[in-house]
């Protein structure tokens, strides 16, 4: 059994409903959701001339190997209508694996931990909400400390509190 931390995001259509739909697909294809953060509205990162994103981090228990989990998440994006027409452009759903257990790995389809997570407030805010004491396997620092050290100043605002 693996514990995976997954970032969900999207900025097209009914953003909240798309996050809910993605979680239902994850339950069906990937494993059991054990924790979920609040939903955050975040300014677009990279290509900034687009609508704000809704982002949420979930934790799942999964029997899938890391690359199989990534393949399943890509399949879910496709099922939900994700079109990859512009790098960092608007999207209905985006599913990124942040961490799996304490694995450090690099393959053609997966880098663990996610290589940009420590530089992005929209990742660290929801992750810190549910796992502040989780230690980043490369940085050897807690998620809470990484959030304090994060220099990203894009707006990240909690809009829907977890239930």
Which of these, 41, 48, 47, lies nearest to 10 by C-alpha position? 41
Query: Which of 15, 52, 61, 96 is the catalytic position?
Result: 96
Query: Which of 94, 102, 108, 152 is the catalytic position?
Result: 94
Which of these, 1, 18, 9, lies nearest to 69 by C-alpha position? 1
Is position 121 annotated as part of the catalytic site? no
Query: Which of 15, 91, 120, 121 is the catalytic position?
Result: 91
* Cβ–Cβ under 8 Å, residues 69 and 94: no
Query: Which of 82, 102, 121, 152 is the catalytic position?
Result: 82
Is position 120 annotated as part of the catalytic site? no
Is position 94 annotated as part of the catalytic site? yes
Is position 96 annotated as part of the catalytic site? yes
Q: Which residue numbers are catalytic?
A: 82, 91, 94, 96
């Amino acid at each position: 059994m693996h514990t995976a931390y997954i970032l969900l995001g999207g900025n097209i259509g009914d953003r909240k409903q798309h996050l809910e739909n993605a979680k239902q697909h994850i339950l069906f294809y990937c494993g059991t959701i054990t924790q979920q953060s609040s939903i955050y509205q975040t300014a677009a990162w990279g290509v900034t001339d687009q609508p704000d994103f809704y982002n949420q981090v979930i934790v799942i228990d999964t029997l899938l190997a890391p690359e199989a989990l990534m393949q399943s998440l890509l399949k879910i994006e496709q099922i939900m209508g994700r079109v990859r027409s512009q790098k960092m452009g608007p999207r209905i759903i985006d599913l990124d694996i942040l961490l799996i257990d304490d694995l450090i790995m690099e393959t053609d389809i997966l880098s663990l931990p996610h290589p940009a997570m420590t530089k992005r407030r929209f990742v660290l805010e929801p992750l810190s909400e549910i796992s502040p004491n989780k230690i980043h396997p490369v940085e050897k620092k807690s998620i809470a400390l990484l959030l304090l050290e994060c220099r990203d100043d894009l707006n990240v605002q909690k809009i829907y509190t977890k239930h």
